Amino acid sequence: MRVDLAGFAREGALGDHAALMYLVERADALGFGGIWFNEFHFAREALPYPSTLLLGAEILARTERLRFGTSILVLPLYHPLMLAEQIAQLDFQSGGRVDLGIGRGTEPATFTALEISRDDAHRRFCEALRIMIEAWTKPHCSADAGPWKFANVAVGPPPVQKPHPPSTCRRLRRNRRHRRAKRVSAAAQSRTERGAAIARVSRRT
């Protein structure tokens, strides 16, 4: 059974950097499976680790078996070619110890600061994910629609993990809840309409 460490969001990562690195090294020595860090930008002051990938590079360099995960990496904020390349490099440097939690993000301050419309977050997420998977699994990738346009770009090095680092999509889980909420709402509306129809029939009779 794999046991990971998580919950390092905002204030959870505040404090002495050396102490955090000691925790990471002890977790590796004690046999924990992985450690996960959240991504936040511009929302509050004095957040020490806005870049999870930079932090991950040091953690993976200090450990031998501990995996590093992002929870979540906000895809709409990045150019997917650059992000795919950085993740592939991190996977290569670590010998294949990278896990990805990805999503479209919810922090208004971040989108506002970077002048990215939150209305475009879904489209940017979907296209970024498509491009990244193609960059990791094919010799060249292209995009001719959406926010990014380019042709026959090679991204390397190839990830150690095949076909690419394990990825968990937060957006899909939210969509499942959204679809369930819509079904519940539709069922409630249907019951209300049936009740109103019965009431109308009763008044007529």
Q: Which residue has the higher pLDDT, 40 or 11?
A: 40
User: pLDDT tens-digit profile of 48-89?
Assistant: 888 999 999 999 999 999 999 998 899 999 999 999 999 999
**Ranges of each domain in the chain:** 4-170
Query: What is the arithmetic mean of pLDDT over 96-104?
Result: 96
User: pLDDT tens-digit profile of 18-52?
Assistant: 989 999 999 999 999 999 998 888 866 667 888 99
The whole-chain average pLDDT of the chain stands at: 85
Instruction: Please report, rounded to a whole number, the percentage of residues in the chain having pLDDT higher than 90.
Output: 63
Tell me how far the alpha carbon of residue 26 is from its chain's centroid.
26
Distance CA 181, CA 46 (A): 37
Query: What pLDDT sits at residue 145?
Result: 85
| CATH class for the region spanning 4-170 | alpha beta
